[in-house]
Amino acid sequence: MEIIIQPTAEAATSVAARVIARLLNEKPNAVIGLATGSTPLLLYRALIDMKLDWSRVTTFNLDEYIGLPKEHPQSYYSFMWDNLFRHTNIAPENVHIPDGNAKDIPGFCAAYEQRIRDAGGIDLQVLGIGTDGHIGFNEPTSSLASRTRIKTLTPQTRQDNARFFASLDEVPTHCITMGIGTIMEARHNLMLAFGANKAHAIAEAVEGPITAINPASILQMHPDAKFCLDADAAGELKRADYYRWVYDNKPEWQHL
């Protein structure tokens, strides 16, 4: 794991944006996994400003609420088109977002996994983290080998996400999410976390035991996982000085 701590969310985002820009430069037909929520908003703005060529890029989103119409302002479909896709030259047929209104949810999930395989697998997966350590919507105790499937959101996650809805009652109770096994197959995982409310989940994920209670802790087993953190999200890391030292002393050729 590479733990990159920057003073601000903007600085941490700019490292992450450079990682993605470099990938698109090296592999214009890259397959990118994307996340929603408040964390990647700065990243999507930065990528839009970079005016990258998305014409050959394929994307797969991590998750979607079940039961919200696509056009609902809080559906992840609306989120992605409003905050990223419509500001790029991506081909709409290359965009994949789980269908939260699929009639046959298990069938849809199996087909989503197959589409990822058919696209050659995910080159880089963008991740955020829940205050309970979830990645995608893989809540605590999700199987670390899980695949794309239906999940029930925890009361904590519904409460955390209620800020986007008029009331807690409007937050859906179920979602479709890529599994932890699916996320672990991405060739590169890029986690972003900002703010003191993420500090505990990050400390457990990076320095705690690997456990399904903190799903993000499985990234300790990933061969190429980067964590781009602001100082607040890094606030409970015991070895923060060490991570800073490593980043400041990278050989020239490893610079991001």
- For residue 153, the minimal CB distance to ligand F6R (Å) is 10
Strands 124-127 and 174-177: unpaired
Token duo for residue 100: 């939260």
Q: Output 196 or 246, the one with its CB closest to ligand F6R.
A: 196
Question: Which of the residues 131 through 150 are near ligand F6R (CB under 6 A)?
Answer: 134-136
Q: Output 61 or 94, the one with its CB closest to ligand F6R.
A: 61
Site string for ligand F6R, 158-197 (x = CB under 6 A): ----------------------------------------
Residues pairing with 6 in the sheet: 230
Phi, psi for 156 (deg, rounded to 5):
-60, -45
Question: Which of the residues 15 through 54 are near ligand F6R (CB under 6 A)?
Answer: 35-39
CA angle 113, 117, 121 (to 5 degrees): 110
Applying CB under 6 A, which of residues 9, 62, 80, 199 lies at the interface with ligand F6R? Answer: 62
Alpha-carbon torsion (58, 62, 66, 69), positive or negative = negative
Tell me: does residue 211 bind ligand F6R (CB under 6 A): no
Cβ-count burial of 122 within 10 angstroms (0-12 exposed, 13-18 middle, 19+ buried)? buried
Q: Is 224 assigned a catalytic role?
A: no
Q: Is 134 assigned a catalytic role?
A: yes
Residue with tokens 């409310």: 197
Residues lying near ligand F6R in the complex (CB under 6 A) = 35-39, 62-63, 128-130, 134-136
Supply the residues annotated as catalytic.
Answer: 63, 132, 134, 139
